[in-house]
């Protein structure tokens, strides 16, 4: 049976080979979430206090100068299972998607109730455009820019939108939105073309 125990932050030892990165922006977002909702997701550790899952939460707790954090000890994992879970805990969450219609309804409801949408994790909220204008893509003068965009999309896919690359991706999206182009459509078109090559 799992039980939650509070441990001092200096008793939790980050995993030196943790391959998941946490930029300052994301840690601040986690800290804001903890301030709004409380520490609702305990940190997972081994018997020696070694961190298995929750590196970002520990960094956020330290940013907030919390003395203690809730932990759950996973004592039955083999060394290989522990290493694998460090990766799986992060990767599995990335494999989910969004139902845009339901997300729009929920965000609008929160906005109507004057809830602080900043704690949701977006720096720029989705705009859910219904009428997408693709005419900008018909302009011959932007062929070179589209080529640059394709290279940017390829890079974005390769890095899987790592937090340290967020600013670059945000600027790219901001530019194309200012030109009236729907960046999501470009990304989907790219995926379709790549899939057709298989």
Concatenating the DSSP letter of every residue in 30-72 gives HHHHHHHH-S-SPEEE-TT-BEEE-HHHHHHHHHTT-SEEEEE
* pLDDT per residue rounded down to tens, the chain (198 residues): 789 999 999 999 999 998 888 889 899 999 999 999 999 999 999 999 999 999 999 999 999 999 999 999 998 999 999 999 999 998 888 788 888 889 989 999 999 999 999 899 887 787 776 665 656 556 665 556 656 666 665 555 554 455 555 666 667 667 766 666 666 666 666 666 666 666
Predicted local distance difference test score (pLDDT) of residue 39: 95
Residue environment code for 56-84, b if the CB has 16+ CB neighbours within 10 A, otherwise e: bbbbbbeeeebeebbbbbbeeeeeeebee
Predicted local distance difference test score (pLDDT) of residue 1: 76
Predicted local distance difference test score (pLDDT) of residue 159: 47
Predicted local distance difference test score (pLDDT) of residue 100: 84
Predicted local distance difference test score (pLDDT) of residue 125: 82
pTM for the model stands at 0.64
Q: Kindly report the CATH number that applies to the domain delimited by 4-94.
A: 3.90.1530.10
CB atoms under 10 Å from CB of 6, counted, come to 13
Q: What is the dihedral of CA 51, 38, 126, 105, to 10 degrees?
A: 130
Predicted local distance difference test score (pLDDT) of residue 155: 56
Predicted local distance difference test score (pLDDT) of residue 2: 85
Task: Report the alpha-carbon distance of residue 191 to residue 197 in Å, rounded.
Answer: 10
Predicted local distance difference test score (pLDDT) of residue 67: 95
Predicted local distance difference test score (pLDDT) of residue 160: 47
Decide: helix, strand or coil at residue 164: helix
What the block records as the tokens of 124 is 């720029």
Predicted local distance difference test score (pLDDT) of residue 46: 94
Residue ranges of alpha helices (H) inside the chain are 24-37, 55-63, 79-94, 100-112, 143-159, 166-178, 183-197
β-pairing, 51-53 vs 43-45, is antiparallel
As beta bridge partners, residue 51 has 45
CB 45 within 8 A of CB 72: yes
- H/E run at residue 13: none
Q: For the chain, which residues make up each domain, given as ranges? A: 4-94, 97-123, 129-197
Task: Report the alpha-carbon distance of residue 73 to residue 44 in Å, rounded.
Answer: 6
């Amino acid at each position: 049976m799992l039980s939650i125990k509070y441990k001092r932050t200096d008793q939790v030892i980050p995993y030196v080979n943790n391959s998941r990165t946490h930029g300052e922006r994301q840690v601040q977002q986690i800290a804001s979430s903890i301030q709004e909702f409380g520490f609702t997701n305990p940190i997972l550790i081994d018997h020696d206090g070694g961190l298995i899952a929750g590196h970002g939460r520990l960094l956020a707790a330290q940013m907030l100068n919390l003395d203690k954090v809730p932990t759950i000890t996973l004592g039955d994992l083999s060394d290989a299972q522990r290493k694998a879970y460090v990766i799986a805990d992060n990767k599995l969450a990335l494999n989910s998607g969004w139902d845009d219609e339901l997300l729009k309804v929920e965000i609008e409801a929160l906005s109507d109730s004057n809830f602080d949408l900043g704690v949701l994790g977006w720096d720029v909220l989705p705009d859910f455009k219904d009428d997408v204008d693709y005419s900008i893509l018909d302009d011959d003068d932007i062929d070179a820019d589209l080529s640059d965009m394709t290279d940017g999309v390829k890079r974005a896919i390769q890095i899987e939108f790592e937090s340290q690359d967020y600013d670059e991706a945000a600027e790219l999206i901001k530019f194309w939105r200012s030109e009236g182009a729907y960046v999501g459509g470009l990304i989907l078109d790219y995926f379709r073309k790549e899939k057709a090559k298989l």
